């Protein structure tokens, strides 16, 4: 299980269902579409990646495997940009 949390330094702005994230320390930014924005809004530092995927499956009509892979890829990219932190739980 992996718990996801936002980097507290990140600045973000949501406009018309899309979100732009900026890490002011690194200067790196990342744009999120509507589904990715919904993912970002569910990240609270307590909820696991799998739990968030389950929540998204209730919101969107999409195949589990497709959504799961897309969200895992998104989380990895956000972690690479130091916008999100992934912490493995024992």
Q: Where are the domains of the chain?
A: 2-8+34-88
**By the 8 A CB rule, do 71 and 50 touch?**
no
Strands 2-6 and 84-88: antiparallel
Closest Cα to residue 4, out of 76, 81, 68? 76
Give the pLDDT of residue 18. 86
pLDDT at 17: 72
Averaged over successive runs of 10 residues, the pLDDT of the chain (90 residues) comes to 95 88 93 94 96 97 96 96 91
Write down the pLDDT at residue 14: 87
pLDDT one-digit tens code per residue, 40-61: 999 999 999 999 999 999 999 9
Q: How far apart are CA 17 and CA 5, in angstroms?
A: 21
Pair 53, 1: CB distance under 8 Å = no
């Amino acid at each position: 299980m992996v718990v996801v949390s936002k980097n507290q330094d990140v600045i973000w702005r949501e406009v018309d269902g899309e979100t732009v994230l900026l890490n002011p320390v690194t200067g790196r930014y990342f744009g999120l579409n509507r589904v990715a924005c919904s993912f970002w809004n569910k990240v609270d530092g307590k909820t696991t990646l799998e739990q968030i995927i389950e929540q998204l499956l209730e919101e969107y009509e999409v195949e589990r495997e497709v959504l799961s892979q897309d969200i895992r890829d998104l989380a990895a990219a956000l972690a690479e940009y130091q916008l999100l932190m992934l912490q493995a739980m024992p």
